[in-house]
Amino acid sequence: MDGLDALKQGYLNRIAEAGDEAALEEIRLAALGKKGEISLKMRELGRMSPEERTAAGKVLNALKDEIDAALRAKKSALADAALDARLATEWLDVTLPGRPRRQGTIHPVSQVTEEVTAIFADMGFAVAEGPQIESDWMNFDALNIPPEHPARQEHDTFFMARAEGDNRPPHVLRTHTSPVQIRAMMAAGAPIRVIAPGRVYRMDMDQTHAPMFHQVEGLAIDRDISMAQLKWVLEEFCRAFFEVDEVELRFRASHFPFTDPSAEVALRCSWEGGQLKIGEGNSWMEILGSGMVHPKVLAAGGIDPAEWQGFAFGMGIDRLAMLKYGIPDLRAFFDSDLRWLRHYGFSALDVPSVAGGLSK
């Protein structure tokens, strides 16, 4: 068994130089594989005398173990190095601030909701809430819209499924924020001043209608409330919201089952040169419905109509956002298109306030 030392050293050198697992495997096969150099030498043991065999067997086994150990050690060293390299390239400092280029923006609907809330908060209105899945009674009956009333058809209602055999009227996706009037009255009684912004649903879809959209409800109840206060509040709101000194509102008789008298309100504006200007020009833009709360609605909310009276209004938040920020298509509001969101979105750091500025 001559030359074993040279053979061993040769393999150990090759192992030390191997750059990856494939190279290591090649070396292992060359040395210890079925037809490997050391395996072949092992086979020669059979032709030796017993004494020779004992001595040579020992040496060969030791050699085999040594090469084997060197292969394993190198293999795990290669794996460690590969992991280190990966960790080095995939390293991430989670304490770094976000990259401005990737910062999210506030959706125009959220922005306008904040603006509207800030303006009415400044006038003493609290925010009330109600569920989007509403009972038939809250959405209709309590608002003086009994089952056979034609207004029910106009609302293009989405109905929730009922369990088989359950004959109660199905719940609905609320078709307006007006049921929050009832909830707020029941919860707080009179006097009360609240607005209720939120999502509403109707089966409708075109450039200016989406099946889900946003309204803000207003409700003020006290002992001596009249249409005059309604008018003042709405004018004050429009001046603040559109950030102009003068606005002109047009009140026209209308009909809602839950208000009497009722008025639809439009805003004087001009579209000259395709540019919308509020407060001047010869066009009128309808922005909301309103009126004096119907006595039956007060009663449904647990408030005595002989003692209290109030006004209510409801306007479309999406519509307000389109007007103020010149957004032509309502459907784009709900597409989640990042380019649109970056273009029309607002900085998360500019919180609207009446004193600090609404949209700056």
Kindly state whether residue 108 participates in binding ligand PHE, applying the rule CB under 6 A: no
Among 289, 301, 310, 352, binds ligand PHE (CB under 6 A): 289
Q: Judged by CB under 6 A, which stretch of 52-60, 86-94, 284-292, 332-340 contacts ligand PHE?
A: 284-292
Q: Which stretch binds ligand PHE (CB under 6 A): 51-59, 119-127, 244-252, 286-294?
A: 286-294
Among 113, 144, 157, 290, binds ligand PHE (CB under 6 A): 290
Ranked by CB distance to ligand PHE, the top (closest) residue is: 314
Least separation, in Å, of the C-beta of 246 and ligand PHE? 25
DSSP letters, 171-210, are PEE-SSSTHHHHHHHHHH-SSEEEEEEEEEE-S--BTTB-
DSSP bridge pairs for 341 = none
Query: 4 is written with which tokens?
Result: 């074993």
Give yes or no for residue 291 binding ligand PHE (CB under 6 A).
yes
Pairing of strands 172-173, 133-134: antiparallel
Nearest CB to ligand PHE, comparing residues 125 and 256: 256
DSSP secondary structure string for all residues of 41-97: HHHHGGGS-HHHHHHHHHHHHHHHHHHHHHHHHHHHHHHHHHHHHHHHHS---TTSP
Q: Of these, 36, 179, 314, 352, which contacts ligand PHE (CB under 6 A)?
A: 314
Which residue number, 213 or 346, has a Cβ lying nearer to ligand PHE?
A: 213
Beta bridge pairs of residue 192:
221
| Under rule CB under 6 A, residue 36 binds ligand PHE | no
* Using rule CB under 6 A, residue 178 touches ligand PHE: yes
- Please list every residue from 196 through 255 that binds ligand PHE, using CB under 6 A: 217
Q: How far apart are CA 328 and CA 271, in angstroms?
A: 13
Binding piece for ligand PHE, criterion CB under 6 A, among 14-22, 120-128, 312-320, 352-360: 312-320
Q: How many of the chain's residues bind ligand PHE (CB under 6 A)?
A: 11
**113 near ligand PHE, judged by CB under 6 A:** no
Tell me the backbone φ, ψ of residue 76, rounded to 5 degrees. Answer: -75, -30
Residue positions counted in the chain: 360
The residue (of 289 and 301) whose beta carbon lies closer to ligand PHE is: 289
- CA–CA distance, 27 with 47 (Å, rounded to integer): 27
312 binds ligand PHE (CB under 6 A): yes
- Chosen residue from 313, 333, 344, 346 binding ligand PHE by CB under 6 A: 313
> How many CB atoms are closer than 10 A to CB 137?
15
Shortest Cβ 181–ligand PHE spacing (Å): 7
Q: How far is the CB of 265 from ligand PHE (least distance, A)?
A: 10
In the complex, what is the shortest distance from the CB of residue 289 to ligand PHE, in angstroms, rounded to a whole number?
3
Please say whether the beta carbons of 39 and 94 come within 8 A. no
- Those residues with Cβ within 8 angstroms of residue 270's Cβ, 6 or more apart along the chain or in another chain: 276, 277, 280, 281, 282, 283
Nearest Cα neighbor of 160 from 136, 142, 130, 131 is 136
Q: Is 157 one of the binding residues for ligand PHE (CB under 6 A)?
A: no
Binding site for ligand PHE (CB under 6 A): 176, 178, 217, 256, 259, 289-291, 312-314
